[in-house]
Structure 1
Amino acid sequence: MSASILRPALVLGLLSAVGPFAIDMFLPAMPDIGASLGTSASVMQGTITSYFLAFGLAQLIYGPWADQAGRRLPIYVGLLIFMIGSLVCTFAPSATMLIVGRFIQGLGGAAVMVVPRAIIRDLHTGHEATRLMAAIMLVISISPFLAPLAGAGLMYLAGWRAIFAVLAAAALISLVITRTLLPETLPPSARQPVSLAAMRTGMLKLLRHRSFLALTFLGGFGLASFFVFIAQASFVYSQAFGLTPTQFSLAFALNAVGFFASSQFAAKLGMRYGAMPVMVRASTGFGLATLILLGIGISGHASLPVVMAGLFCANACLGLVIPTAMVMALEEHGEIAGLASSLGGTLQMLAGGLMVALSAPFFDGSVLPMLGAIAVCGTMTLLLARVVASTAPRTAQA
């Protein structure tokens, strides 16, 4: 990996991992937190939905702000807000206050998701941008391996509140990293003043751009499958399969291996076969894998090894889809990369949060409702890939 990719990948990857850590460290503790606060699994899923809702809406602010003020200031403010939310969660006396704290966390965590995407667009385009995105995802991949185990260990040693105290400390460390290692990538001459008129014009342009919307929601429903898994897996794995928090953490990490391993091949495969064919075929593989897994669940044969193997295959396909779709969605919108990144991120988070909210009433602690919701996401991803392919110029499909 060249130096032009390695350093920004490490810095942006570590910053971008703050949000996933806020989710993944929390997962093994969800059943215990629910019991501690005297609340139900459906209410605990609300802590996931509130985080994603705030995470999505806040991106509409950070993107345009990053186009006006540069990339670093919004990151500073976002990390401070995230730290405050983490402290609220640390001392939350009730499930309601925990949900509020998670909402504040989401408001801050959005900054270290949307702004790094715009920084990628500042530095590179095309296959180089895909390489950098994939490298960042490789750094982020430490989250599903270390965060759940760290969360389970902290819960065992000091109780679940220690998880959020550590997240507050992580935000402080991220502020230091931003101050010392992240240069400003948007020169003053390229900055655009924020105005409601300009935002409205830019948003209307993006919302009328069929390919942008299709690519955004394609990635959104792919991510939504993760959100459903995140919201429900800890309860399914503990109640239906009888796993301990540590065992769940290991199972969760294994399910993420396929995604992050395959994402490292996205740029190379795109250069060799074309980004569009890779994305369409990978989306097809993801959709079919989720439908097959649902069929196995309906037949009553969805054991833990089968579920883990099926999700591994599905996520391996998805690892080729997400970085490619994100880069392709921004490719034609360099002049409003911050706004495009924020609007795309908002739409994706809202799609994910909506899927979690819609699937929650059907959740009964068994594996079938989770597989059904994931299959819906897979089907939507498959269909949207076909829409993107049908609207792309013939040269882009080669």
Structure 2
Amino acid sequence: MTPGFLRSAVILGLLSCVGPFAIDMYLPALPKVATELDGTIAAAQMTITSYFIAFGVVQIFYGPLSDMYGRKPPLLVGLVLFIIGSLGCAFAPDVSWLIAARFLQGLGGAAVMVIPRAIIRDMHTGTQATRLMALVMLVISVSPMLAPLAGSGLIAISDWRLIFLVLAFVAVLSILMTLFLQPETLAPEHRVPVSLKAIGRGAKTLFTDPVFMGLTFVGGFGMASFFVFLASASFVYTGFYGLTPVGFSLAFAINALGFFAASQFAAGLGERFGLIPMLTWAVSGFLGATLMLLALVLAGFDQLGVVILMLILANACLGLVIPTTMVMALDDHGDIAGLASSLGGMLQMFSGGLMVALVGPFFDGTPVPMVAAIAICAVIAFILMRLTISARLRTPVLPV
């Protein structure tokens, strides 16, 4: 592994942390937000959902803009929007204001999710891209492991509003890193003018590609399962199991550890066994772990240790699924990598937001709705995986 490869992973990983930090640092504060702003649990969860919706909708714009102007200018615009949204959250007088500010924050945070993917595609394809994507995810792994603990610490010394001031400061540091450490990876001669006709043509290519759409939604429903966990876990772990905010943060970090540890093996396993066989086994493992968890919870074995253990296994499978589907979906669309990345991200965020919205009315503070929704995501991902692999095997595969 060359120093330049590792340097790219660290920079892109740190930039990509901004969006997840806006979610993970805030999770321990959700119950307090609901109480302090006189909102319901559903209203507090809506502050998560509004972020996801904005995060998804705007991705369709960042990709084409990065194809036209290069990767860095749209990235900087997104970070500025993120700062404004974070400050709006910090001074929100009520839950409606907070929901709106979180929406603005999501509009900015999407840039640091879409554009690093396109940067990776600018530099590598195939298993090399999978390896870099996995290294980026290793850096991102500090978010679910440290961000909730950081949020709990900030709540202990002040209140939840300080979390958003810290996020604004982190975004400022990210702007400086983008300006001075991240090189532009899209040369002027490779840039594509933005036009509705070009976007429509590219979108039609992607929407009519069953492999791209299938891989996008396989990863999307894998991510949706995690979004359901994000929106529900703080209430389940603190309300049903009686954990403190710090205890929840530790449990959350343990749950996420399986994902990021497994993601580091994605490239190696893909090289050894092939990406398609690895994806098949990983999605099957995700399905098996989540269905077993649901069966145990319904049978009354809903102890905290059981839930955490089974989620570790499920998330370990997702650690192989998500980076692999991201890379495979973009491999055949290098000429419109920005648009493909943004469209794929938008569809995945909609999948996650939809699942959170659907499970909200059924949430009763117990683990059942949460694990049932996660299992449903796994079933959908498995069905899509089988259909997509059939389409992939019928389509000529470009060398990687």
Instruction: Establish whether TM, by shorter chain, passes 0.5.
Output: yes
Asked if 1:384 is matched to 2:384, the reply is yes
Q: Offset at 1:3?
A: 1.8
Alignment-mate amino acid for residue 84 of structure 1: I
Partner in structure 1 of residue 41 of structure 2:
41
Alignment-mate amino acid for residue 230 of structure 2: I
Distance 2:196 2:3 in 1: 39
Q: Secondary structure at the match of 2:58?
A: helix
Distance 1:95 1:108 in 2: 20
Partner in structure 2 of residue 233 of structure 1:
233
Alignment-mate amino acid for residue 197 of structure 2: A
For 1:107-122, list aligned pairs within 5 A: 107-122=107-122
Partner in structure 1 of residue 283 of structure 2:
283
Asked if 1:257 is matched to 2:257, the reply is yes
Which whole-Å deviations, capped at 9, do the CAs of 1:140-186 have from their partners, x for residues lacking one? 00001110000000011011100000000000000000011000000
Tell me, which stretches of 5 or more residues in structure 2 are unaligned?
Answer: none
Partner in structure 2 of residue 154 of structure 1:
154
Q: Offset at 1:200?
A: 0.4
Partner in structure 1 of residue 56 of structure 2:
56
Distance 2:181 2:388 in 1: 37
For 1:95-110, list aligned pairs within 5 A: 95-110=95-110
Which whole-Å deviations, capped at 9, do the CAs of 1:67-113 have from their partners, x for residues lacking one? 00000000100000000000000000000000011000100000000
Q: Offset at 1:2?
A: 2.2
Q: TM-score, normalised by structure 1?
A: 0.99
Distance 2:348 2:60 in 1: 12
For 1:316-355, list aligned pairs within 5 A: 316-355=316-355
Partner in structure 1 of residue 14 of structure 2:
14
Alignment-mate amino acid for residue 244 of structure 1: T
Q: List, as ranges, runs of 4+ consecutive aligned residues in structure 1 with deviation greater than 3 Å.
A: none
Q: Offset at 1:384?
A: 1.3
Asked if 1:132 is matched to 2:132, the reply is yes
Q: Offset at 1:233?
A: 0.2
Partner in structure 1 of residue 29 of structure 2:
29
Alpha carbon RMSD of aligned pairs, Å? Answer: 1.0
Which whole-Å deviations, capped at 9, do the CAs of 1:220-261 have from their partners, x for residues lacking one? 000001100000000000111000000000000000110000
Q: Secondary structure at the match of 2:222?
A: helix
Q: Offset at 1:302?
A: 1.2
Distance 1:66 1:27 in 2: 31
Q: Offset at 1:392?
A: 1.5
- Judge which range, 379-388 or 101-110, deviates more: 379-388
Alignment-mate amino acid for residue 53 of structure 1: I
Q: Secondary structure at the match of 1:243?
A: coil
For 1:70-85, list aligned pairs within 5 A: 70-85=70-85
Tell me, which stretches of 5 or more residues in structure 1 are unaligned?
Answer: none
Alignment-mate amino acid for residue 57 of structure 2: L
Alignment-mate amino acid for residue 96 of structure 1: S
Distance 2:297 2:196 in 1: 49
Q: Offset at 1:311?
A: 0.1
Partner in structure 1 of residue 369 of structure 2:
369
Distance 1:383 1:120 in 2: 29
